[in-house]
A and B are shown apart, each in its own frame.
Chain A
């Protein structure tokens, strides 16, 4: 666990046993999501940057466990616009709440908050840096659909350069002997430092510049991400590749029965609507799993497991 009490800032400090234990706890919450464990507790959700999905998921988790929620969903309505430091905001809120769940646009904000806060912090995303609850729900979804985390064949598709989700997944999966296929346009390739990380940690990977049937046919997990226009320096290049990374239902013929399609959401057009009715589409259930994982993370941070 992170060295700042029971705060969860990143998954870096968690070993295989910690991860599996948290996933087991999440499974218990899935079996029984409504419990009064947080009766009398107040949880603050401080979203300095808007994130509807993550905030609703965390707040639902608190509500289903009988706790109460205070907080804000947009920094424009807070004192930070008056120039208040993050430290002061955290110190003030920690007078009221037993736990702080925060999303911030600056990288390292959650770690700093955990150093100054007398109550635990859960990082719900700090800029392009870490988003541990997303990674945990991805792992949970993979284990739930495949019955295991070991030896999976995982295709990561789309923006592998800036996508924090895919970077965190590499780190967390290092314990489970995965084989990765990195499928992206050249401009958005997996950065060298992460490929080096794979080599150092014995993680097998192959790179592809097209989303072809042969690669998908081997996969257990197809993890799609958004290819965003604003990430391209060359818009001609964007126009050229944008349709190459769209998953259509017809591409799923002949794929493995256990294949599941995941996406951190929001989706724009990278997964065609006709995929939704395919039983291999798993992104909405994946988001639902986030609730159970977050119930476990909240109770763990409050030392209630």
Chain B
């Protein structure tokens, strides 16, 4: 008797990046952020997959592409706690959970139209005041931005 559970068959990556544990509603934000629609190399995008930890999740596999520090920083803002694995020669060379840092520089736009950061050629700086709920506070105008309102620069 066949006891194996039905499983999604996806070709193993030789080199590239696997982004796992993406909240289901953020999968296509990640796709857009990384500009995946413009890439030629093989990409697998899974959305609304069953997950023990998150009930549903998304996963993205990208061949021959490695993320820059800047991309990781941006990912941490739009989808904190995703797991990124770097694959080299079919092996996991590096695996890390991308978490919100304490301070976010030059990545998020302040929502306050009267904030100086929206009028001067300068970097924004946000302090992460609530990591759990993703609340950021602008260091210049002191206004808070909630996770759902975050807009990247």
A-side residues, CB < 8 A to B, are: 85-87, 104-109, 111-112, 126-129, 193
Whether the Cβ atoms of B112 and A111 lie closer than 8 Å is: no
Q: Are B120 and A127 in contact (CB under 8 A)?
A: no
**9 A-B pairs whose Cβ atoms sit less than 8 Å apart in the complex:** A85-B120, A87-B122, A106-B119, A107-B114, A108-B115, A111-B116, A111-B139, A126-B116, A129-B141
Q: Please report the C-alpha to C-alpha distance between residue A85 and residue B143 in the assembled complex, in whole angstroms.
A: 23
A-B contact count (CB 8 A): 46
Alpha-carbon distance between A138 and B4 when the two chains are bound, in angstroms = 75
Q: B86 an interface residue at 8 Å Cβ cutoff?
A: no
Q: Tell yes or no: B117 within 8 A of A by CB.
A: yes
Pairwise interchain contact B141-A112, C-beta atoms closer than 8 A: no
A111 to B124 Cα, complex, angstroms: 12
**Nearest-Cβ distance from residue A123 to partner chain B, whole angstroms:** 12
Binding site for A on B (CB under 8 A): 112, 114-117, 119-122, 138-144
CA distance A226 to B85 in the complex (A): 58
A112's contact among B112, B114, B140, B142, by CB below 8 Å, is which? B140
Distance in angstroms between the alpha carbons of A27 and B100 in the assembled complex: 47
Q: Which residues of A contact B142 (CB under 8 A)?
A: 107-108, 129
Most chain B Cβ neighbours within 10 Å, of A87, A107, A111, A129: A107
* Chain A minimum-CB-distance residue to B144: A193
Do the beta carbons of B114 and A128 come within 8 Å of each other? Answer: yes
Residues of B near A85 (CB, < 8 A) are: 120-121
Verify A106–B122 contact, CB threshold 8 A: no
Q: Are A107 and B120 in contact (CB under 8 A)?
A: no
A106 with B139, Cβ < 8 A, contacts A85-B120, A85-B121, A112-B120 known: no
A108 touches B117 (CB 8 A): yes
B139 touching A127, Cβ below 8 Å: no
CB pair B121 A108 closer than 8 Å: no
* Bound form: Cα–Cα A97–B119 in Å: 25
